[in-house]
Amino acid sequence: MRLRSNLVAGGFLVAAFAACTYDSSLQFGVGPDGIVPGGSSSGGRPEAKPCTTNAECGADVCIQGGCFPSTAGDGKVNGTESDVDCGGTAAPPCAEGKRCRAPLDCASDICRDGTCQPPRPDDGVKNADETGIDCGGSVAPRCADGLGCAADTDCASAVCKQTVCRAATLTDGVKNGTETGIDCGGPGAPACVDGLGCLTGADCTSLVCAAEVCQTPTYTDGVRNGVETDTDCGGAGAPADKRCTVGKLCLAGGDCSSDGCVADGPAVGTCARAPSCTRTHGGFTCGLGENAEGAPLGTHEDCCTSLEVPGYSEPDHAGKRVLLDKFEVTAGRVREFLTRITSRSDALGQGAKPDVKSWLEAGPAPVRWQPSWNQFLPSDDVGGFVDPLPHPGNGISGAGPMGVNYALSYAIYVYAHGDNCVRPAGQTSFSSPTYWMTPQVLGGLAYPQAARGISQALLDQKSINCIPNALLAAFCAWDGGQLATAEVLQAASSNGAGLPPLSAAFGSSDGGTPTGYTYPGGSGDGADRIAAPGRAANDKTMLGAAGPWHDLRGNVLEAAICKSNAISISGGDIIDRGRAFCGSAAGPEANWFGLAFEGYGYSSSRAGGSSHDGNIRYPEYKTAYAGGRCMRFAD
């Protein structure tokens, strides 16, 4: 059934319905309504006029020998038809090019200048196979939201529901709207995963769009993507040469070439210079000015800063530049070392313990390391003994406990007069270990020690002391370098000639008069006299334009790896006090360790003459007036 319209008197448009059906009465000899040519109908209607041609019927049509009113299919323009057998109210609509009087005369619904026009997707009507006005179907553009549709392909949103185009959403499972991929890409949409469509890098989770396809992240694509923590570096499984350099973003030590990611302090979440400098206290508190617990850091420096020693090379590291740490090792850096070793042991299923010995034995061994030193490394907090001690004397004998709680407190394994690592009750003003332990730990030792009078934060800032030479050397190896050699300290100080006079540091005198440094003071704790590295403004050593290195003259004496028994320092203060680098005993042990320069605070008479040089060379040697610094190597 098709709706048609005609103009009637008065100009009104009248709609009429005309059924297009096959008339079964049009059989041989039978006309419409059952009229038989030359006879009468069953209803008594007049008989049809007989005819042989259309001409005999006038306006009617000759059909099977009788004149009947015009109908479609008679090959003539008659009735309401606008062209032969089409148009009007009874005939089917006309094809393109046929005559018409109104749009409904045409199959395209387009009548222009009396002729039916072909349908076009811009003619303002719904025609051909369009599902909306000038949209949908096989030719016209897709329909906007809210217009008709027969399939998803009819809609700009590609979503047709209940014959209506629906608005695009980010959950409709199709690529539509401004999306560059299915429910992803484009303004407001989540980024697309690798392999989906894109127009720009912002459309992709990888941030890399090439040939309108999101690319898989690589370590050479110039953007931070995938598991990377910074541009083309870091992340789980990053190759060694793709770990991030100092200052780049990180989440864990493994993201960084230094194996250190700053956990707190001024550069949190960035790669540290070395793994030990990842905490505020002892990691970023070196240099001038005290830093009370909780106070701003001010102008303090990174304690792992290292400076190149110009003109100096190490045969053990041929072709490498040699760098010497600007500052002495702090207690806080050693704490980070032991914390990381504990985490390693726990991850390996060995229990949460500071098993430095197992870490070192897992290799590779540090350069110039002696296997006999391993026995002097801790494997637990309290466990592990060396029995008997190899260098007894002056009351030192029997088994030596090597656990961290003993190695960094009162346990002495080789004699050194006035070691001052012990803290019995009532004698704390002479005791100076800088590695803080809880009162419970100190009170639970075999020889109970008094609680500290200085907070952990302030002790962590101070230079480490009361640490066995072997443990200090292991720390420097873990920290990416090695314990400084006698030769590099000699080179940096121009054979001692470049050292500032001791009297310039905190007003101390070369005679050891106790007029110099104490901080925080009034604590009743002997560690007051040990400074955080860099606090003495005038204790700076320059090598030409290189430097300055701090505290080479004062603070703690510095343990150094010896290479030759022939090393000596000439001139003035150092030779007078017997502070040559290495021990003077014969045999291979003479080439192990020595002490560099002055030390034990900037105000103690123990700065000279009390170190028993013959014992300094042993890996188990430790005193409150000895610490050290690391050296490093770079391309």
Q: Quick one: pLDDT at residue 66?
A: 79
What token pair was written down for 542? 């320059």
Asked whether 111 and 117 are in contact (CB, 8 A), the reply is yes
DSSP line for 113-131: TTEEPPP-TTSSS--TT-S
Q: Quick one: pLDDT at residue 74?
A: 85
- Residue from 410, 468, 475 nearest 444 by CA: 410
Averaged over successive runs of 10 residues, the pLDDT of the chain (635 residues) comes to: 33 33 38 46 60 64 69 84 90 93 90 94 91 95 96 95 95 93 96 97 97 97 96 94 96 95 87 96 92 70 96 91 97 98 95 96 89 94 90 80 95 84 74 94 92 94 95 97 89 81 53 61 84 88 92 84 54 33 50 56 42 72 90 96
Amino acid occupying residue 488: V
- The helix/strand/coil state of 294 is coil
Q: Quick one: pLDDT at residue 13?
A: 31
Asked whether 217 and 204 are in contact (CB, 8 A), the reply is no
What token pair was written down for 222? 């110039």
Q: Quick one: pLDDT at residue 292?
A: 73
Q: Quick one: pLDDT at residue 429?
A: 66
Q: Measure the CA–CA gap between 421 and 433, rounded to whole angstroms.
A: 5
Output the pTM of the full model: 0.73
Q: Quick one: pLDDT at residue 558?
A: 86
As beta bridge partners, residue 543 has: 546
Residue 59 burial by CB count (10 A; 0-12/13-18/19+): exposed, middle or buried?
exposed
Cβ count within 10 A of residue 373: 22
Q: Measure the CA–CA gap between 63 and 141, rounded to whole angstroms.
A: 47
Backbone angles phi, psi at 528, to 5 degrees: -50, -35
- The helix/strand/coil state of 296 is coil
- Residue from 280, 227, 597 nearest 457 by CA: 280
Q: Measure the CA–CA gap between 460 and 512, rounded to whole angstroms.
A: 26
